[in-house]
Structure 1
Amino acid sequence: MAKDYETVIGLEVHVELATKTKIFCGCSTAFGGKPNSHTCPVCTGMPGSLPVLNRKVLEHAVAVGLATNCRITRYCKFDRKNYFYPDNPQNYQISQLYLPICRDGYVEIDVEEGLEGEKASTPGKKRIGIHEIHMEEDAGKLIHDEWEDCTLVDYNRSGVPLIEIVSEPDMRSAEEVISYLEKLRLIIQYLGASDCKLQEGSMRADVNLSVRELGSAHYGTRTEMKNLNSFHAISRAIEGERERQIDLLESGKAVVQETRRWDDLKGTSYAMRSKEDAQDYRYFPDPDLVPVSIDDAFLEEIRARQPEFRTEKMERYRSEYHIPDYDIEIITGSKSMADIFEATVALGAQPKKVSNWLMGETIRLLKERELDPEDIRFSPEHLAKLIALAESKAVNSTVAKEVFELMFEQDMDPETYVEEKGLKMVSDTDALRRVVEEVIAANPKSVEDYRGGKDRAIGFLVGQTMKAMKGKADPVTVDRLLREML
């Protein structure tokens, strides 16, 4: 008889912080750029160069710690994690082992009722513990050139500031992992500490997973999976590794503690190396960096800057804007979307009208172009102007959507564009009536069909009128005039 197994999952989430310069030097952190153009003696590990901590990194780390209910370490230090790899020019990484900046926190995720297996079966919330958050520097990037059959190194990313958020092994399913990551990402985005774009590597998750017999108090042997750059890949990797470990145990074999690389195209993972422990890295305090001492004034300064997070924002939207709960849930699910919504409403647009444009055309275009809501580029000022044009019937709905799509791409002023292209609707009813008369005269068959009870024929006549007007008419007004004149 097959045994029942429980999956035990913990995450190591690396988040690239939104600073203009690197953690220990003044080099740019801008994404992209010519290889090795954002480098200096410090971030390339040249002998004699001395690191200096970027204060903004400390501010972001403490802000994330406070938002995730962590205890802030008032006296902390940096350590050297020693290993050799070509993308690590110093042969060590500056990190924090002994005194990380944040400890013993948690975030709460929603759990559903009635789901079996890995998912909690009680309604409400589940607390996912955060073991620690520590500051560290990123490594460079290896570029494999298939044409030249060689590997090149780009050190632009070397020294980019990271925080690593290490969870407790509290998650039991892929669903809980994704819920935790989404909650974490939203907190960090609301703080402005990172854009958390998985596709650009500014948020990366390593999954530590083991299985054990259901009811057992002892953890199984865990593996760590890397190369997970999307929520979809994370879900598939968790399910794949769970099945692999269960198959090993069911066949009487042992699970080996190792680091594995997930191949999302093949839907499988393969061993990279045996899993190292802390002693393998020969950690010791970095002699070039002074300890960090955090006083009450600094902590209160960061606390005072904490933003309104999603839960509070949702409650305020209900009482202040009176838009549907579904709209609120979607809009507050992205800091960028929430910011645009509030700024557009502040310019005088009706909340529900703004919500309609965000929930409809904006989400449609984001999906079509496979963009993240944080990639939205149009300004609240231009969205407010477009809504005003549509509501005053200066342009019809079709033209408004066409203008919005252009505005989405290049954020141009809709009023100026409509004027330049002559897209304003004709407000002269007599002129519109003359065009309707011409359309009726030119389409006797459709007129006969409509008078014979075929109501759909009116749609053809509306279309012909709109064509004659080059789209510069209100379809509702055209429909009304046609019915009156027929």
Structure 2
Amino acid sequence: MATAAIVSPEIMAKYEPVIGLEVHVQLLTETKAFCGCANKFGAPPNTNVCPVCLGLPGALPVLNERAVEFATLASLALHCQVRERSIFARKNYFYPDLPKGYQISQFDKPLAEHGWIDVPTPNGTKRIGITRLHMEEDAGKSIHDGFSDSATRTYVDLNRCGTPLIEIVSEPDIRTPDEAYEYLTRLKEILLYTAVSDCNMEEGSLRCDANVSVRPRGQEKFGTKAEVKNVNSFRFIRAALEYEIERQIDVIEGGGRVVQETRLWNANEGRTYSMRSKEQAHDYRYFPEPDLPPLIVSSIRRAEIAQQMPELPEARRARMVADYGLTEQDAQTLTATRAFADQFEAAAKTAKSPRRVANLIQSELTSRLKAAGLELEQSPISMKGVAQAADLAEEGKLSSKQLKQLFDIAFEKSEDFPVVYEREKPQQITDASEIEKMIDEVIAANPKQVEQYRGGKKTVAAFFVGQVMKASKGQANPGLLNELVVRKLDS
């Protein structure tokens, strides 16, 4: 795999990266932005099309009200100021998958501006500004198919033409690839909670371009930026930024000049390649869209849309820490998706110990799901089952070993926990006299270890606990067993 030229840490430290992200998000509407064609991924090529999205003469666009609602909801969730009056514009360029020769977008009067997202950093929380959120339509898709060593066929699928998009442009506030990764992670969480998009990067419903430059530390003026495209995961965006930062520093240190251009990320080679010189805004010849009136989102309509706002991830995490006694890390994991958080809370409200439910999810459930390659919704153990397991453990009716065994059986047989528990019905020994009898037998059989304990090596108590657990086939109550072992040895 090719890598960037090696730049020493000392030289890297002389420069500061400046990163801004442009995120395109397809909205989860049933129909397209300006026509009644189905907004659906995976249809046969060139079937979800009509004269409007194909740009045929005389076909006029009609704005999808649901798309406006979703765009406004996303704007509010990102703390943006929503304009009462915004303007659609034509962005003119020529490409095979853009049949109209222009894209309906927004330019100098976007739907929303001046938002922000807070992201975690090693030094605390950092606020990343959002310059603007505007509406636009998607272009079609070109599919390049190499069929010989010397030629490539390109196919054009216009199904995606007219799909409603929002473009979210960050301020150049990001200074490290890790900050970019965290920003995108938080952004995706918020969009998923509001349900305005499925954010599926594999299907192209969330796409990100990164603008990156470097400058000597302490310099206020920005360096020349390159735009990195064709990056289809957050992990690759971080890797592409790491490569591009090092490449630009190497160019400058070698006496060269960074060129403003668009570059493509090659994940197989781990590097970027020059694609074309970067266009300036005037190259697109923006002008107001003559076939659409100004978009009006009144204060009354904004208030109505704001009523649909769910509890967002950060607020939910803070509340769950307060309500259920969770750690920050627990809350972070359990609120990764809205569905996960909803299911946890439904279980936690009925359980004797919400904290134990959270621990079981993280220690027992998620590890098994990951090993089996399953998503939460595919889990054989329901959240109701997790809550029952937590209650049995809390009441001392199941040891951790027994609980693990029952979870293993549930995954092996694809059965829910209550079904497995009812059939297996493992019982704990909670009769102190029965446990004491086993302890006496183990002590009598291991005089050497008794001598070690009474000589001051108190950790030997764990040996006796293990031996009794083995003798009881894991059924002795752990808390009671530990207490009785120490009492017996001390006496």
TM-score by length of 2: 0.77
Give 3-state SS (helix, strand or coil) of 2:307's partner: helix
- The amino acid across from 1:135 in the alignment is M
User: Is residue 2:132 matched to residue 1:108?
Assistant: no
Q: CA deviation at 1:395?
A: 7.4
The separation in 2 between residues aligned to 1:41 and 1:452, in whole angstroms, is 87
User: 1:386·1:404 contact (CA, 8 Å) conserved in 2?
Assistant: no
Query: Which range moved further: 143-152 or 100-109?
Result: 143-152
Match of 1:244 in 2: 247
Q: CA RMSD in A?
A: 4.3
Can you list the C-alpha shifts for 1:169-191, whole angstroms capped at 9, x where unaligned? 12222122223222322322332
Percent of aligned pairs sharing the same letter: 41
Q: CA deviation at 1:336?
A: 3.3
The separation in 1 between residues aligned to 2:407 and 2:147, in whole angstroms, is 43
- The amino acid across from 2:223 in the alignment is G
Can you list the C-alpha shifts for 1:243-263, whole angstroms capped at 9, x where unaligned? 211222222222111100011
Cα 1:82/1:257, change in 2 over 3 Å: same
Give 3-state SS (helix, strand or coil) of 1:252's partner: coil
The separation in 1 between residues aligned to 2:220 and 2:85, in whole angstroms, is 35
Match of 2:141 in 1: 141
The separation in 1 between residues aligned to 2:412 and 2:34, in whole angstroms, is 37
User: 2:382·2:416 contact (CA, 8 Å) conserved in 1?
Assistant: no
User: 2:430·2:477 contact (CA, 8 Å) conserved in 1?
Assistant: no
Cα 1:429/1:398, change in 2 over 3 Å: closer
User: Is residue 2:267 matched to residue 1:257?
Assistant: no
- The amino acid across from 1:229 in the alignment is N
The separation in 2 between residues aligned to 1:228 and 1:40, in whole angstroms, is 27
User: Is residue 2:49 matched to residue 1:40?
Assistant: yes
Match of 1:183 in 2: 186
Q: CA deviation at 1:342?
A: 1.1
Match of 2:424 in 1: 423
User: 1:101·1:135 contact (CA, 8 Å) conserved in 2?
Assistant: yes
User: Is residue 2:58 matched to residue 1:60?
Assistant: no
Cα 1:427/1:166, change in 2 over 3 Å: closer
User: 1:27·1:38 contact (CA, 8 Å) conserved in 2?
Assistant: no
The separation in 2 between residues aligned to 1:233 and 1:208, in whole angstroms, is 15
User: 2:381·2:417 contact (CA, 8 Å) conserved in 1?
Assistant: no
Q: CA deviation at 1:314?
A: 3.2
Query: Which range moved further: 455-464 or 20-29?
Result: 455-464
User: 1:449·1:457 contact (CA, 8 Å) conserved in 2?
Assistant: no
Match of 2:168 in 1: 165
Unaligned stretches of 5+ residues in structure 2: 1-9, 435-441, 451-459, 486-491
Query: Which range moved further: 226-235 or 325-334?
Result: 325-334
Cα 1:327/1:256, change in 2 over 3 Å: same
Match of 2:104 in 1: 94
User: 2:16·2:214 contact (CA, 8 Å) conserved in 1?
Assistant: yes
User: 2:469·2:476 contact (CA, 8 Å) conserved in 1?
Assistant: no
TM-score by length of 1: 0.78
Equivalent residues in 2 for 1:41-440, closer than 5 Å: 41=50, 44-45=53-54, 47=56, 48-113=58-123, 124-146=124-146, 150-348=153-351, 350-365=353-368, 367-368=370-371, 379-387=382-390, 401=404, 413-416=416-419, 422-425=423-426
Q: CA deviation at 1:44?
A: 4.7
- The amino acid across from 1:424 in the alignment is K
The separation in 2 between residues aligned to 1:279 and 1:410, in whole angstroms, is 63
